[in-house]
Every structure is written in C-alpha cells, then in structure tokens.
C-alpha cells in the first residue's frame, strides 16, 4: 500500500510539472536610459496572447510585471501590458489615392474614416507589424547609476520569472514628476522644487465618426502641440472618448466590450505617438479616462451596458456595481501601465464634469455614490503608480461644494485623495465681472476642499 501511495504521489507531481508552461521566452531592453526618460522592456511570450484561454488585459487571467532595483536599493514594481505594434503605411494599395470612408489599402480589414485626410500623405494609415514582443513594461528611472530588474509572470497555475538584467541610467534634462506645493496653490517639480505653471488647452474635438479607427484625434492633438509649444503652452487636456483615444468600447461602436482592448489598439498607438511628441516638446498631458456623454448620449454602445455585452441596464448602477468597478480598475491599470511611466503625464481624471449625469446626480444618494466611487478609483490608481496627480472636474459653479445633505465635509471637491480640482467656467472673455466672481467662488471652494489647487477652464 505504501509503495502504491508513493507511486501515485510521484505521478501527480510529474503531471503537475508537465503542465508547467514557460511564460517568459525572451526579454529585450536598451542598454541605457536617461533619468526620468522612457526605459521599455520588450517581452516575448508564445503562450500569453489573446485567446479563449488567456485575456492579457485582465490581471486575474495574466499578471506580468517587473521589479526594478535602484542603485540606492529602492525597489519599484511596474506592470506589463499587452499591445499591438504598428508602422505607418509607406504607400497606398496599388498606388490608389483613397477618399474618406474607403478601406481598400495596405492593411485591409478595418475602416479608416478621417474628415481631414490628406490624400497626398503616404503615412495616413497604420499597418500591423508582426512581432513576438507584444508584452511591454515602461519605466522612467529616477536615479542615476546601475539598475537591475527581473520580470515575473503568472497565468493560471503557471509561474515564471526571468533572469536578472541590468542597465545604466545617465543624467538628462528631464525635470521629473510634478506635485502640489504644501500651500496647495502651486505646482512644483518634486525633485528641484521649481514652480510649474500650467498653461494650455482642452483638446476634445470630436471627429463625428463612431468608427473602429480614425486618425482625426491624433492629427488634431499634433496640430495643437506644434502651434502652442513655441509660445510657452505646456498643457493639453485630452479625452479618451469613443471618437478620440478610448481603448474600451462596445461592439456596435467599434470595440470588444468590457475589459478587452484588441480592436482599439490603433487608438492606443496614436496616444503613444502623442505622448512621445509631448515629451519632445516639453508639453504635459492631463488624461481624462471618460467623457460624461459616454453614460448618456452614447450609453447604448457603452461596454458596461447589458445591451452591448456588459453588466448593467441602467447608468444609475455604474457607480455601485462590483463588475463595473472591477472592469474600470482593469482599464485604469492598463492606462497607467502603458502611459503612466511618463513625467509628462501631468494628471489623470476619471470622468469629466461628473455633475452632468442628470437625474442620477440629483437622485437620493447619487452624489454620495459618485464620491465613494471617485475615492475608490483614485486610491486604486495611486496604488498602481504614486507619481501622478489625480483630479476631478464639474461644469456647474456650485455643483461640487455640497453633497446630497448639503454637508461640506462630504463634498466632491473635498475628497482627500484629490490633488487638485478643475472648475469649468464657460464665460465670454469680455464678461470680466462674472469671471472675477467665479474666481472668488472657486477660491472659497479651495478652502472647503482641503485647500486644493483649482484650474479654471
């Protein structure tokens, strides 16, 4: 009996060992990087690809990350993300000049609709690059000297890790991350204490095409950077809405549903290009994850809507439903992993102008639910990467002072995790008296909101 038991245990151990899968095949890296500049790992994994077994966008399915060790001994964990790589097409298919709405070009199989398509531009479209290195880790090392790192991966019962690698960090002109001064009235670079005064634009143009892919958003942001940077402009506020850079959307709006970002990888690639251009021009981005219209006018195609393959029937459940919260955190994790490395991300904003949620905002307990949701999401975001500021915005002048019970201590602007608040005031330039009044009102809000810096629109 004892021998049979020993054989059974041995066979079980062998079977478990046989199921073990190599998750990390190859790691490629640059040999050096500048301080606070992008250091990117490229990781090949033959098994961890989007399929019926693994969802690389869901950390409960695949969890890959790198732990970096600084010369001082301090450790940094940065999560990996799965991406598709593209090149701009060099020529049109059969040298045919395309018109907006056509799809017969070098990378067939998706639509490209662009209202400002320049038919003489041979680089108008994105072509998929076949590569094994779809997994990436991005990091902006904050210390000069020799660093080491190791990559880890988990998928199901399978665990894997890489060898220990090293790289060198040299000095650079990058000033690093921006924080809020202790007096809550200024922004400063955290390293050298230099004051940062944000001066810029909202870049929220809609292309008016709810298509799988269009390049209007990238073209528009590129134009804004090129026009404002020479005159001292240093901040753009960018929306990740369906017509622009949203990576998650419903099937009828050109997406895959909740927490899957395959179809909209081209939007992500364009945002990569925008951030690279911003870094080169010393411009900072305030990245807004959602526009309020995604929960009103565009609700039919929202990925969390049951009708589009989601979890809920009513927008009123968005802020309390556990599945919606989990999917939103996965989206935040992806955004922070892919773009949050950069000191040129000035701030993250979950949902813009939250007070425009109509009847839900004014319903019993609605504001309290929004406030709790904001706190939970910001806490999660800062747990992923604590380098960046978080903010919220409202459209109405008094919307964020009071909660449902007119209690200042429970106001939206009083959320302790917020680093600053955005006051959006839509006034004409000649309406100076009203502008001064609204500024004083905003100053009063700063006091009730734990002294938050206010950026006015």
Question: Strands across the sheet with 200-203, in order?
Answer: 200-203, 235-239, 284-290, 345-351, 389-394, 420-423, 453-456
| Within-domain flag for 129 | no
pLDDT value of residue 113: 40
Pair 150, 246 in one domain? no
**277 φ, ψ (degrees, to nearest 5):** -65, -40
| Within-domain flag for 361 | yes
Q: What is the spatial distance between Cα 330 and Cα 260, in angstroms, rounded to a whole number?
A: 9
Question: What residues are paired with 123 via a beta bridge?
Answer: none
What is the mean predicted confidence (pLDDT) over 264-283?
Answer: 93
What is the mean predicted confidence (pLDDT) over 140-155?
Answer: 98
- CB proximity list for 344: less than 8 A, separation 6 or greater: 275, 278, 279, 282, 283, 284, 285
| Within-domain flag for 232 | yes
pLDDT value of residue 255: 74
Q: What is the pTM of this model?
A: 0.86
Choose the final residue of a domain: 124, 154, 170.
170
Say whether 151 sits in a helix, a strand or coil. Answer: strand
What is the mean predicted confidence (pLDDT) over 236-260?
Answer: 84
122: number of Cβ within 10 Å = 15
| Within-domain flag for 89 | no
| Within-domain flag for 4 | no
31-81: pLDDT as tens digits: 999 999 999 999 999 999 888 889 999 999 999 999 999 999 999 999 999
**Residue 448 or residue 329, greater confidence:** 329
**Residue 235 or residue 299, greater confidence:** 235
Number of structural domains the chain divides into: 2
| Within-domain flag for 193 | yes
What is the mean predicted confidence (pLDDT) over 101-118?
Answer: 40
Pair 256, 396 in one domain? yes
What is the mean predicted confidence (pLDDT) over 265-288?
Answer: 94
What is the mean predicted confidence (pLDDT) over 90-108?
Answer: 41
Pair 251, 161 in one domain? no
Q: What is the spatial distance between Cα 342 and Cα 340, in angstroms, rounded to a whole number?
A: 5
pLDDT at 241 over 90: no
pLDDT value of residue 452: 67
Pair 195, 294 in one domain? yes
> Mean pLDDT lowest for which of 212-221, 300-309, 343-352?
212-221
**Residue 411 or residue 1, greater confidence:** 411
Indicate which CATH number applies to the domain containing 345. Answer: 3.20.20.80
pLDDT value of residue 123: 45
Pair 270, 329 in one domain? yes
Structural domain boundaries, residue 205: 178-456
Q: What is the spatial distance between Cα 401 and Cα 415, in angstroms, rounded to a whole number?
A: 11
Pair 69, 154 in one domain? yes
Percent of the chain predicted with pLDDT > 90: 47
| Within-domain flag for 111 | no
pLDDT value of residue 410: 66
pLDDT value of residue 211: 54
CA of 448: how far to CAs of 276, 392, 414, in Å?
Answer: 38, 15, 7
Question: What residues are paired with 159 via a beta bridge?
Answer: 154
Pair 151, 219 in one domain? no
Helices (H) and strands (E) in the chain, counts: 7, 22
Pair 438, 292 in one domain? yes
Note whether 380 and 331 are within 8 A (CB): no
pLDDT, averaged across the chain:
80
Pair 155, 202 in one domain? no
Choose the final residue of a domain: 170, 190, 219.
170
pLDDT value of residue 197: 94
pLDDT at 192 over 80: yes
Say whether 113 sits in a helix, a strand or coil. Answer: coil
What is the mean predicted confidence (pLDDT) over 8-33?
Answer: 71
| Within-domain flag for 396 | yes
pLDDT band of residue 249 (cuts 50, 70, 90) is confident
Indicate which CATH number applies to the domain containing 74. Answer: 2.60.40.10
Q: What is the spatial distance between Cα 2 and Cα 78, in angstroms, rounded to a whole number?
A: 48
289-344: pLDDT as tens digits: 998 888 888 888 899 999 888 999 988 899 999 999 999 999 999 999 999 999 99
Pair 203, 149 in one domain? no
Pair 275, 228 in one domain? yes
pLDDT at 121 over 70: no
Pair 309, 397 in one domain? yes
pLDDT band of residue 396 (cuts 50, 70, 90) is low
Q: What is the DSSP string of 75-88?
A: EEEEE-EE--EEEE
165-188: pLDDT as tens digits: 999 999 999 999 999 998 888 899
What is the mean predicted confidence (pLDDT) over 365-393?
Answer: 90
> Mean pLDDT lowest for which of 101-115, 373-387, 427-441?
101-115
């Amino acid at each position: 009996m004892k021998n049979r038991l020993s054989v059974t245990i041995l066979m079980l151990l062998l079977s478990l060992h046989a199921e073990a899968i190599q998750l990390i095949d190859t790691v490629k890296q640059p040999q050096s990087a500048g301080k606070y500049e992008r250091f990117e790992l490229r990781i090949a994994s033959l098994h961890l690809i989007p399929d019926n077994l693994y969802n690389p966008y869901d950390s409960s399915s695949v969890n890959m990350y790198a732990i970096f060790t600084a010369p001082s001994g301090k450790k940094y964990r940065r999560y990996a993300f799965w991406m598709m790589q593209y090149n701009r097409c060099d020529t049109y298919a059969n040298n045919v000049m395309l018109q907006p709405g056509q799809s017969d070009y070098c990378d067939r199989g998706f639509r490209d609709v662009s209202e400002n398509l320049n038919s003489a531009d041979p680089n108008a479209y994105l072509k998929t690059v076949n590569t094994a290195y779809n997994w990436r880790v991005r990091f902006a090392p904050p210390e000069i000297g020799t660093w080491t790192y190791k990559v880890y991966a988990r998928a199901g019962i399978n665990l894997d890790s890489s060898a220990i690698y090293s790289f060198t960090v040299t000095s650079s002109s990058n000033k690093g991350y921006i924080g809020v001064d202790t007096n809550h009235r200024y922004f400063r670079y955290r390293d050298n204490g230099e004051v940062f005064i944000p001066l810029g634009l909202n870049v929220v143009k809609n292309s008016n095409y709810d298509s799988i892919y269009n390049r209007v958003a990238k073209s528009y942001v590129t134009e804004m950077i090129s026009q404002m940077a020479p005159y001292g402009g240093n901040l753009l506020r960018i929306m990740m809405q369906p017509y622009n850079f949203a990576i998650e959307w419903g099937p009828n709006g050109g997406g895959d549903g909740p927490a899957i970002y395959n179809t909209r990888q081209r939007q992500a690639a364009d945002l990569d290009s925008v951030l690279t251009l911003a870094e080169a021009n010393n411009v900072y981005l305030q990245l807004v994850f959602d526009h309020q219209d995604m929960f009103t006018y565009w609700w039919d195609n929202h990925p969390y809507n049951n009708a589009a393959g989601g979890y809920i029937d009513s927008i009123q459940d968005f802020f309390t439903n556990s599945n919606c919260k989990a999917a939103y955190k996965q989206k935040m994790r992806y955004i922070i992993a892919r773009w949050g490395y950069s000191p040129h991300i000035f701030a993250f904003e979950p949902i813009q102008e939250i007070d425009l949620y109509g009847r839900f905002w004014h319903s019993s307990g609605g504001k309290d639910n929004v406030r709790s949701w904001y706190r939970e999401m910001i806490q999660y975001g800062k747990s992923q990467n604590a380098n960046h500021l978080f903010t919220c915005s409202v459209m109405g002048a008094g919307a964020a002072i009071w909660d449902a019970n007119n209690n200042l201590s429970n106001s939206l602007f009083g959320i302790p995790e917020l680093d600053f608040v955005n006051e959006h005031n839509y006034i004409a330039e000649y309406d100076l008296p009203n502008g001064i009044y609204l500024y004083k009102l905003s100053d009063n809000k700063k006091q009730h909101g734990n002294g938050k810096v206010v950026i006015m629109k």
